[in-house]
Structure 1
Amino acid sequence: MAELLLRGTELGAIDAVLFDKDGTLSISEPQLLTLAEARVFLCLEQVSVERRDPLKDLLQRAYGLKSDAICPAGITAVASRDHNLIATATAFVQVGVGWPEALALSEQVFAEADAVDARRTADSPLPTSSTTEGLFLWLEQLQVVGVRCAVISNDDMAGIEHFLGAHGLRGYFSGLWSAEHRPRKPDPAAVHGLCAEMGVDVSRCALIGDANSDLRMAVAAGIPHPLALGYTAAWRTTPPLAEPHPLVHAWSELSVRPSFP
């Protein structure tokens, strides 16, 4: 049992912290940008020349692609792989491809892009800079006072395990909830499922994420409002997080101290 503090202000008692992965534990924007651009390139190869410009525009807007950045509230940053796939198929349909063909093309494109995705390639380990600054010290603090940690993410289990393993983080996390679990986030029942697996009370958990969907999910699940925290430091563009949720701009702003019943 511990007390969570943000910039010295008490937020509440916690037994566990649930972390989003991309944009919270991980500075994933460079990899997501590369992946989204690869998907766009591969999609354009599947259509005739006259369809390429309108398809490119549709895909870039759907993916939240800007010149050298990803919109932190867009589907590439927030949504699951299958939601991104459906959005891609919908873009194909809007330039005149039939729905069955659009789904098949999207599956093909995603498989080809996944094959070169640096987040998943076993012989291309992630650079250490892709963990958010100060993360290890923060996880060590939590471990010292006995606060358990978990990942709740719309990545699949392979992506989560690869990230944690590549950075030596697996030992800090006693729970994982992925896009393959049911229900998945942002359903509040995903929080309930993860907490049940860990044997912790939802009301004694904090959740830290970089999207409004994370924060709404946390509060709807029963996490006290001050313990649903928005993390802002992993994107070139600051995520548009709703106030008055507490906002964390660096892990060093958080601290914990033991508390006793």
Structure 2
Amino acid sequence: MPRLLLRNSCIGTIDAVLFDKDGTLSHSEPHLLSLAQQRIDTAASLWCERSSEQSLEAQLRDGLRHAFGIIPEGLRPDGTIAVAARQDNLVSAATVFCLLGSSWPDALTLAKASFDQVDMNDQAASTTQTPSPLLPGAETFLHQLEDHAVPAAVISNDTRPGIEQFLAHHKLTTLFQQNWSADDSPRKPDPEAVAQLCARLRLEPANCALIGDAETDLQMAVAAGVGVVVGYRGGWSSHPHLPSAHHVMDHWRELALEVNP
């Protein structure tokens, strides 16, 4: 079996590698920060149109910034906008509306309208938008896997079209044999997502490595019995705290594959 090397030391033998996308393969913080701000601006605008409590707009904006994980340095790498699926972020936004006096049905309606409007604006601008850039060194490691016929798969809370667009834009589609998205069930961080993805690869989790930037991903991998769990900290302005990682790295150049002839 191929040996996975971290800073020139073997950390395990593997049959495949499972990758998170945002913050691990993709430098997504600028895009996610922009998305969060668009959702806040749209929510505040709709709130002012529909609510008699316009004086609470500043509290609404502040609450949504906290809910999405916006901090002075950028984004919290463990915040909802960074690690959670769209539906989870929608519920977070609706909760803020509730704290300001909305009923739960009205809060959900307002949150959904805000998110949908931002999505429509994004779709209208999609011809000029490009997916987030790859993090430095990731492509080199992916080609090492390809050169040695080691399967790779994405496990992400992005949508399936979002994953496919990202891989196609960076000409990585042929380097990945499978992916697991927010459109699959169950979504990560359910350990069953890892089990089912490994089943698609016809491999056991114990013979795979998982690389991710979120503690929830690493807890999921440990619970699923993944053999090598690697925390990646180099994708965010503020390094994430990853206590469940078996090993931690800050740059893709620290990782390599070794195959005995």
Where does the alignment leave 5 or more consecutive residues of structure 1 unmatched? none
Structure 2: how far apart are the matches of 1:97 and 1:210? 35
- 2:200 corresponds in structure 1 to 197
- 2:247 corresponds in structure 1 to 246
- 2:51 corresponds in structure 1 to none
Q: TM-score scaled to structure 2, two decimals?
A: 0.93
Structure 1: how far apart are the matches of 2:160 and 2:121? 18
Task: Say if 1:236 and 1:117 are closer, same or farther in 2 by CA, change over 3 A.
Answer: farther
SS in 1 for 2:56: helix
- 1:17 corresponds in structure 2 to 17
Listed one character per residue, the Cα deviations across residues 80-121 of structure 1 (whole Å, up to 9, x for unaligned) are 100000011111111111211111111111111123448x92
| Identity among equivalent pairs (%) | 43
Task: Say if 1:181 and 1:205 are closer, same or farther in 2 by CA, change over 3 A.
Answer: same
Deviation at 1:249, TM superposition (A): 1.0
Structure 1: how far apart are the matches of 2:182 and 2:17? 19
SS in 1 for 2:236: coil
Task: Say if 1:29 and 1:178 are closer, same or farther in 2 by CA, change over 3 A.
Answer: same
Where does the alignment leave 5 or more consecutive residues of structure 2 unmatched? 49-53
Given residue 97 of structure 2, which amino acid in structure 1 is its aligned partner?
A: F
Structure 2: how far apart are the matches of 1:151 and 1:115? 26
Given residue 114 of structure 1, which amino acid in structure 2 is its aligned partner?
A: D
CA RMSD of aligned residues (A): 1.6
Q: Is the 8 A contact 1:191 1:221 kept in 2?
A: yes
Q: Does 1:102 align with 2:107?
A: yes
Q: Does 1:73 align with 2:74?
A: no
Structure 1: how far apart are the matches of 2:130 and 2:12? 37
Which piece of structure 1 moves more, 179-188 or 30-39?
179-188
- 2:230 corresponds in structure 1 to 229
Structure 2: how far apart are the matches of 1:148 and 1:161? 17
SS in 1 for 2:47: coil
Deviation at 1:187, TM superposition (A): 0.8
Given residue 153 of structure 1, which amino acid in structure 2 is its aligned partner?
A: S
Given residue 134 of structure 2, which amino acid in structure 1 is its aligned partner?
A: T
Alignment of 1:146-225 (within 5 A): 146-224=149-227
Q: Is the 8 A contact 2:233 2:248 kept in 1?
A: yes
Which piece of structure 1 moves more, 59-68 or 20-29?
59-68
Q: TM-score scaled to structure 1, two decimals?
A: 0.93
Given residue 105 of structure 2, which amino acid in structure 1 is its aligned partner?
A: P
Q: Is the 8 A contact 1:115 1:121 kept in 2?
A: no
Q: Is the 8 A contact 1:35 1:117 kept in 2?
A: no
Task: Say if 1:244 and 1:148 are closer, same or farther in 2 by CA, change over 3 A.
Answer: closer
SS in 2 for 1:32: helix
Task: Say if 1:46 and 1:61 are closer, same or farther in 2 by CA, change over 3 A.
Answer: same
Given residue 114 of structure 2, which amino acid in structure 1 is its aligned partner?
A: V
- Structure 1 consecutive aligned stretches of length 4 or more whose deviation exceeds 3 Å: none
SS in 2 for 1:45: helix
Task: Say if 1:209 and 1:190 are closer, same or farther in 2 by CA, change over 3 A.
Answer: same
Given residue 150 of structure 1, which amino acid in structure 2 is its aligned partner?
A: A
Task: Say if 1:160 and 1:219 are closer, same or farther in 2 by CA, change over 3 A.
Answer: same
Structure 1: how far apart are the matches of 2:200 and 2:244? 30
Deviation at 1:67, TM superposition (A): 3.3
Which piece of structure 1 moves more, 43-52 or 139-148?
43-52
- 1:138 corresponds in structure 2 to 141
Structure 2: how far apart are the matches of 1:88 and 1:174? 35
Q: State the number of aligned residues.
A: 255
